[in-house]
Protein backbone atom coordinates (compact mmCIF):
# COMPACT_ATOMS: atom_id res chain seq x y z
CA UNK A 1 0.00 0.00 0.00
CA UNK A 2 1.40 3.36 -1.02
CA UNK A 3 1.12 6.35 1.30
CA UNK A 4 1.67 9.09 -1.26
CA UNK A 5 -1.10 11.33 -2.47
CA UNK A 6 -1.83 11.65 -6.17
CA UNK A 7 -3.78 14.53 -7.77
CA UNK A 8 -5.40 14.36 -11.20
CA UNK A 9 -7.16 17.12 -13.11
CA UNK A 10 -9.89 16.39 -15.68
CA UNK A 11 -11.54 19.07 -17.84
CA UNK A 12 -15.19 19.98 -18.12
CA UNK A 13 -17.02 18.91 -21.25
CA UNK A 14 -20.06 19.58 -23.37
CA UNK A 15 -21.97 16.56 -24.64
CA UNK A 16 -24.42 16.26 -27.54
CA UNK A 17 -23.14 19.45 -29.26
CA UNK A 18 -26.46 19.90 -31.02
CA UNK A 19 -27.14 16.92 -33.29
CA UNK A 20 -24.96 14.32 -31.55
CA UNK A 21 -27.14 13.20 -28.64
CA UNK A 22 -25.27 10.66 -26.46
CA UNK A 23 -22.57 10.42 -29.17
CA UNK A 24 -20.54 13.65 -29.31
CA UNK A 25 -18.55 15.26 -26.52
CA UNK A 26 -15.85 17.91 -26.42
CA UNK A 27 -13.39 18.86 -23.68
CA UNK A 28 -13.24 22.49 -22.52
CA UNK A 29 -10.34 24.64 -21.43
CA UNK A 30 -10.39 26.87 -18.32
CA UNK A 31 -12.66 24.61 -16.26
CA UNK A 32 -12.18 21.23 -14.59
CA UNK A 33 -12.13 19.11 -11.43
CA UNK A 34 -9.16 17.90 -9.42
CA UNK A 35 -9.34 14.61 -7.51
CA UNK A 36 -6.73 13.74 -4.89
CA UNK A 37 -6.47 10.15 -3.67
CA UNK A 38 -4.45 8.52 -0.93
CA UNK A 39 -4.50 5.00 0.44
CA UNK A 40 -5.50 4.67 4.10
CA UNK A 41 -5.57 1.67 6.47
CA UNK A 42 -9.34 1.88 6.95
CA UNK A 43 -11.15 -0.24 4.39
CA UNK A 44 -13.80 2.26 3.34
CA UNK A 45 -13.83 5.24 0.96
CA UNK A 46 -13.62 8.57 2.76
CA UNK A 47 -14.85 11.46 0.62
CA UNK A 48 -14.60 15.23 0.95
CA UNK A 49 -15.69 17.86 -1.56
CA UNK A 50 -14.61 21.49 -1.84
CA UNK A 51 -15.12 24.16 -4.48
CA UNK A 52 -17.95 25.10 -6.82
CA UNK A 53 -21.31 23.76 -5.65
CA UNK A 54 -19.66 21.41 -3.16
CA UNK A 55 -22.50 21.81 -0.67
CA UNK A 56 -24.89 20.03 -3.03
CA UNK A 57 -22.65 17.05 -3.79
CA UNK A 58 -23.10 13.83 -1.77
CA UNK A 59 -20.09 12.44 0.08
CA UNK A 60 -21.19 8.81 0.29
CA UNK A 61 -19.32 6.68 -2.22
CA UNK A 62 -22.42 5.06 -3.72
CA UNK A 63 -23.94 8.42 -4.76
CA UNK A 64 -20.81 10.33 -5.76
CA UNK A 65 -19.33 9.81 -9.23
CA UNK A 66 -15.70 9.77 -8.09
CA UNK A 67 -16.54 7.75 -4.98
CA UNK A 68 -18.39 5.12 -7.01
CA UNK A 69 -15.35 4.67 -9.25
CA UNK A 70 -13.03 4.25 -6.26
CA UNK A 71 -15.44 1.84 -4.54
CA UNK A 72 -15.76 -0.23 -7.73
CA UNK A 73 -11.99 -0.52 -8.14
CA UNK A 74 -11.47 -1.33 -4.48
CA UNK A 75 -14.00 -4.17 -4.68
CA UNK A 76 -12.96 -5.59 -8.04
CA UNK A 77 -9.26 -5.48 -7.18
CA UNK A 78 -9.84 -7.07 -3.74
CA UNK A 79 -7.87 -4.39 -1.90
CA UNK A 80 -7.55 -4.81 1.86
CA UNK A 81 -7.23 -1.07 2.47
CA UNK A 82 -9.28 2.01 1.69
CA UNK A 83 -8.88 5.45 0.17
CA UNK A 84 -9.17 9.05 1.19
CA UNK A 85 -10.55 11.04 -1.74
CA UNK A 86 -10.75 14.83 -1.97
CA UNK A 87 -12.67 16.34 -4.88
CA UNK A 88 -11.94 19.95 -5.73
CA UNK A 89 -14.82 21.12 -7.90
CA UNK A 90 -14.12 23.60 -10.65
CA UNK A 91 -17.08 22.44 -12.75
CA UNK A 92 -20.36 23.64 -11.21
CA UNK A 93 -22.84 20.76 -10.81
CA UNK A 94 -26.17 20.72 -12.59
CA UNK A 95 -25.17 23.14 -15.37
CA UNK A 96 -24.71 20.74 -18.29
CA UNK A 97 -20.89 20.94 -18.32
CA UNK A 98 -20.12 17.36 -17.35
CA UNK A 99 -19.52 17.97 -13.66
CA UNK A 100 -20.02 14.37 -12.52
CA UNK A 101 -18.15 13.16 -15.61
CA UNK A 102 -15.10 15.27 -14.83
CA UNK A 103 -14.92 13.92 -11.27
CA UNK A 104 -15.43 10.33 -12.46
CA UNK A 105 -12.79 10.70 -15.17
CA UNK A 106 -10.27 12.20 -12.77
CA UNK A 107 -10.89 9.41 -10.25
CA UNK A 108 -10.54 6.67 -12.88
CA UNK A 109 -7.32 8.12 -14.24
CA UNK A 110 -5.94 8.69 -10.73
CA UNK A 111 -6.57 5.09 -9.69
CA UNK A 112 -4.93 3.74 -12.84
CA UNK A 113 -1.85 5.80 -12.10
CA UNK A 114 -1.87 5.14 -8.35
CA UNK A 115 -2.31 1.38 -8.59
CA UNK A 116 -0.47 0.83 -11.86
CA UNK A 117 -3.57 -0.56 -13.58
CA UNK A 118 -2.84 -1.28 -17.24
CA UNK A 119 -6.29 -0.53 -18.67
CA UNK A 120 -7.09 -0.05 -22.33
CA UNK A 121 -8.84 3.09 -23.51
CA UNK A 122 -12.15 1.23 -23.60
CA UNK A 123 -11.65 -0.16 -20.10
CA UNK A 124 -10.84 3.17 -18.49
CA UNK A 125 -13.84 4.81 -20.19
CA UNK A 126 -16.03 1.97 -18.95
CA UNK A 127 -14.62 2.48 -15.43
CA UNK A 128 -15.35 6.22 -15.47
CA UNK A 129 -18.86 5.50 -16.74
CA UNK A 130 -19.49 3.54 -13.51
CA UNK A 131 -19.31 6.91 -11.77
CA UNK A 132 -21.79 8.48 -14.16
CA UNK A 133 -24.23 5.65 -13.54
CA UNK A 134 -24.11 6.32 -9.80
CA UNK A 135 -25.28 9.90 -10.35
CA UNK A 136 -27.49 9.82 -13.44
CA UNK A 137 -28.75 6.25 -13.44
CA UNK A 138 -27.08 5.26 -16.72
CA UNK A 139 -23.41 4.65 -17.59
CA UNK A 140 -23.18 7.04 -20.55
CA UNK A 141 -19.74 8.01 -21.86
CA UNK A 142 -20.24 11.24 -23.82
CA UNK A 143 -18.87 13.37 -20.95
CA UNK A 144 -16.29 11.06 -19.40
CA UNK A 145 -14.67 10.35 -22.78
CA UNK A 146 -13.56 13.93 -23.54
CA UNK A 147 -12.73 14.48 -19.86
CA UNK A 148 -10.38 11.48 -20.06
CA UNK A 149 -9.03 11.85 -23.59
CA UNK A 150 -9.45 15.54 -24.38
CA UNK A 151 -10.48 16.73 -27.83
CA UNK A 152 -13.64 15.85 -29.74
CA UNK A 153 -14.97 12.38 -28.98
CA UNK A 154 -17.41 10.19 -30.87
CA UNK A 155 -18.91 7.48 -28.64
CA UNK A 156 -19.82 4.17 -30.23
CA UNK A 157 -21.29 0.92 -28.90
CA UNK A 158 -19.55 -0.85 -26.01
CA UNK A 159 -17.42 2.22 -25.16
CA UNK A 160 -15.65 2.30 -28.51
CA UNK A 161 -14.60 5.96 -28.73
CA UNK A 162 -13.00 7.79 -31.64
CA UNK A 163 -11.02 10.85 -30.59
CA UNK A 164 -10.19 13.69 -32.97
CA UNK A 165 -8.20 16.84 -32.33
CA UNK A 166 -10.70 19.58 -31.46
CA UNK A 167 -11.46 22.48 -33.79
CA UNK A 168 -9.72 25.81 -33.18
CA UNK A 169 -12.83 27.78 -32.32
CA UNK A 170 -13.97 30.26 -29.70
CA UNK A 171 -16.91 29.31 -27.52
CA UNK A 172 -19.07 30.92 -24.89
CA UNK A 173 -21.15 29.21 -22.23
CA UNK A 174 -23.96 31.08 -20.47
CA UNK A 175 -25.15 29.49 -17.23
CA UNK A 176 -28.58 30.71 -16.06
CA UNK A 177 -29.47 30.75 -12.38
CA UNK A 178 -31.88 27.84 -12.83
CA UNK A 179 -31.62 24.70 -10.74
CA UNK A 180 -33.47 21.39 -10.79
CA UNK A 181 -33.26 18.41 -8.47
CA UNK A 182 -31.97 15.35 -10.34
CA UNK A 183 -31.56 17.54 -13.41
CA UNK A 184 -29.99 14.90 -15.67
CA UNK A 185 -32.74 12.40 -15.00
CA UNK A 186 -35.36 15.11 -15.56
CA UNK A 187 -33.75 16.12 -18.86
CA UNK A 188 -33.74 12.51 -20.04
CA UNK A 189 -37.37 12.03 -19.03
CA UNK A 190 -38.39 14.75 -21.51
CA UNK A 191 -37.04 12.86 -24.51
CA UNK A 192 -39.65 11.00 -26.61
CA UNK A 193 -39.25 7.28 -27.22
CA UNK A 194 -40.03 7.69 -30.94
CA UNK A 195 -38.98 10.44 -33.35
CA UNK A 196 -40.01 11.41 -36.84
CA UNK A 197 -38.09 10.29 -39.93
CA UNK A 198 -37.51 13.83 -41.20
CA UNK A 199 -36.13 14.96 -37.88
CA UNK A 200 -33.87 11.91 -37.67
CA UNK A 201 -32.52 12.50 -41.18
CA UNK A 202 -31.87 16.15 -40.32
CA UNK A 203 -29.81 15.15 -37.28
CA UNK A 204 -27.89 12.46 -39.16
CA UNK A 205 -26.88 15.14 -41.65
CA UNK A 206 -25.83 17.41 -38.82
CA UNK A 207 -23.65 14.79 -37.17
CA UNK A 208 -21.97 14.01 -40.50
CA UNK A 209 -21.25 17.69 -41.14
CA UNK A 210 -19.92 18.24 -37.63
CA UNK A 211 -17.57 15.26 -37.87
CA UNK A 212 -16.35 16.52 -41.25
CA UNK A 213 -15.86 20.02 -39.80
CA UNK A 214 -13.67 18.66 -36.99
CA UNK A 215 -11.66 16.49 -39.38
CA UNK A 216 -11.18 19.44 -41.76
CA UNK A 217 -10.51 21.95 -38.99
CA UNK A 218 -13.35 24.18 -40.22
CA UNK A 219 -14.70 26.27 -37.30
CA UNK A 220 -17.49 27.86 -39.35
CA UNK A 221 -18.88 24.52 -40.53
CA UNK A 222 -18.51 23.19 -37.00
CA UNK A 223 -20.59 26.03 -35.60
CA UNK A 224 -23.23 25.85 -38.30
CA UNK A 225 -23.64 22.14 -37.67
CA UNK A 226 -24.95 22.87 -34.16
CA UNK A 227 -28.57 22.22 -35.02
CA UNK A 228 -30.90 19.70 -33.44
CA UNK A 229 -34.49 18.68 -34.10
CA UNK A 230 -34.62 15.56 -31.92
CA UNK A 231 -33.77 16.67 -28.39
CA UNK A 232 -33.58 20.47 -28.22
CA UNK A 233 -37.31 21.13 -28.85
CA UNK A 234 -38.27 18.88 -25.93
CA UNK A 235 -35.71 20.20 -23.45
CA UNK A 236 -36.22 23.86 -24.36
CA UNK A 237 -39.08 24.15 -21.86
CA UNK A 238 -36.60 23.55 -19.01
CA UNK A 239 -34.82 26.81 -19.85
CA UNK A 240 -36.55 30.19 -19.45
CA UNK A 241 -36.67 32.14 -22.75
CA UNK A 242 -34.59 29.46 -24.46
CA UNK A 243 -35.60 30.43 -27.99
CA UNK A 244 -35.04 34.12 -27.29
CA UNK A 245 -31.58 33.47 -25.86
CA UNK A 246 -30.64 31.27 -28.81
CA UNK A 247 -31.84 33.86 -31.31
CA UNK A 248 -29.90 36.57 -29.46
CA UNK A 249 -26.73 34.51 -29.89
CA UNK A 250 -27.34 34.06 -33.62
CA UNK A 251 -28.19 37.73 -34.08
CA UNK A 252 -24.90 38.62 -32.35
CA UNK A 253 -22.93 36.60 -34.88
CA UNK A 254 -22.83 33.07 -33.48
CA UNK A 255 -22.43 30.33 -36.06
CA UNK A 256 -24.53 28.05 -33.87
CA UNK A 257 -26.04 27.79 -30.40
CA UNK A 258 -27.67 24.99 -28.42
CA UNK A 259 -28.14 23.42 -25.01
CA UNK A 260 -24.96 22.34 -23.23
CA UNK A 261 -25.45 18.68 -22.39
CA UNK A 262 -28.68 18.30 -20.45
CA UNK A 263 -28.82 22.06 -19.74
CA UNK A 264 -29.76 24.51 -18.44
CA UNK A 265 -26.62 26.22 -19.80
CA UNK A 266 -26.44 27.25 -23.44
CA UNK A 267 -23.26 27.32 -25.48
CA UNK A 268 -22.49 29.17 -28.68
CA UNK A 269 -19.67 29.16 -31.21
CA UNK A 270 -18.60 32.29 -33.06
CA UNK A 271 -15.90 34.87 -33.78
CA UNK A 272 -16.95 37.40 -31.10
CA UNK A 273 -17.74 35.25 -28.06
CA UNK A 274 -17.81 38.15 -25.60
CA UNK A 275 -20.45 40.02 -27.61
CA UNK A 276 -22.40 36.82 -28.14
CA UNK A 277 -22.32 36.04 -24.42
CA UNK A 278 -23.48 39.55 -23.52
CA UNK A 279 -26.42 39.23 -25.91
CA UNK A 280 -27.40 35.87 -24.43
CA UNK A 281 -27.14 37.18 -20.86
CA UNK A 282 -29.34 40.16 -21.76
CA UNK A 283 -31.95 37.82 -23.21
CA UNK A 284 -31.98 35.80 -20.00
CA UNK A 285 -32.26 39.03 -18.00
CA UNK A 286 -35.31 40.05 -20.03
CA UNK A 287 -37.09 37.00 -18.60
CA UNK A 288 -35.93 37.79 -15.06
CA UNK A 289 -33.10 35.25 -14.97
CA UNK A 290 -29.59 36.09 -13.87
CA UNK A 291 -26.75 34.24 -15.54
CA UNK A 292 -22.99 33.78 -15.56
CA UNK A 293 -20.92 33.86 -18.74
CA UNK A 294 -17.77 31.86 -19.38
CA UNK A 295 -15.47 32.26 -22.39
CA UNK A 296 -13.71 29.05 -23.35
CA UNK A 297 -12.23 26.99 -26.15
CA UNK A 298 -12.02 23.26 -26.84
CA UNK A 299 -9.15 21.53 -25.07
CA UNK A 300 -6.91 18.96 -26.64
CA UNK A 301 -5.84 17.79 -23.19
CA UNK A 302 -7.77 15.33 -21.09
CA UNK A 303 -7.11 13.94 -17.62
CA UNK A 304 -3.56 14.37 -16.31
CA UNK A 305 -1.53 14.24 -13.12
CA UNK A 306 -0.96 17.68 -11.57
C-beta of residue 269 within 8 angstroms of C-beta of residue 171: yes
C-beta of residue 91 within 8 angstroms of C-beta of residue 33: yes
Tell me 269's DSSP state: E
- The pTM score is 0.94
What integer pLDDT is reported at residue 234 of this predicted model? Answer: 92
Return d(Cα 52, Cα 153) in angstroms, integer: 26
Return d(Cα 249, Cα 39) in angstroms, integer: 48
Q: Kindly list the domain boundaries of the chain, sorted by start residue.
A: 5-164+300-305, 171-296
CB neighbour class for 124 (10 Å; exposed up to 12, middle 13-18, buried from 19): buried
Top CATH class of 171-296 equals alpha beta
Residues identified as active-site: 132, 184
What integer pLDDT is reported at residue 191 of this predicted model? Answer: 83
Return d(Cα 261, Cα 132) in angstroms, integer: 14
Domain 5-164+300-305 belongs to what architecture? Answer: 2-Layer Sandwich (3.30)
For the chain, residues with pLDDT lower than 50 are 1-2
The predicted-structure confidence for 12-61, as pLDDT tens digits, reads as follows 999 999 999 999 999 999 899 999 999 999 889 999 999 999 999 999 99
What integer pLDDT is reported at residue 182 of this predicted model? Answer: 72
What integer pLDDT is reported at residue 173 of this predicted model? Answer: 98
Tell me 56's DSSP state: G
Return d(Cα 260, Cα 63) in angstroms, integer: 23
Residues 232, 55, 138: CA angle, nearest 5 degrees: 40
Per-position DSSP letters for 77-119, written without gaps between them: HT-SSEEEEEEEE-S-TTSSS-HHHHHHHHHHHHHHHHHT---
Amino acid sequence: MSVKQLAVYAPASIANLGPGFDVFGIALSELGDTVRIEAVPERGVQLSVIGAGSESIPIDAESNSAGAVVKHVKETQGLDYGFSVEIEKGVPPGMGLGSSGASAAAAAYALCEYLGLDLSQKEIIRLAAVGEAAVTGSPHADNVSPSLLGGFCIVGPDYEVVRLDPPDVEMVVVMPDVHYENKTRLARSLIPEKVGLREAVFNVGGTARMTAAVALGDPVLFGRSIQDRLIEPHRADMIPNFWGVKQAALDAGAYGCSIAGGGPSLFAVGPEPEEIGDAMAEAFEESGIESETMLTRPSGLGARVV
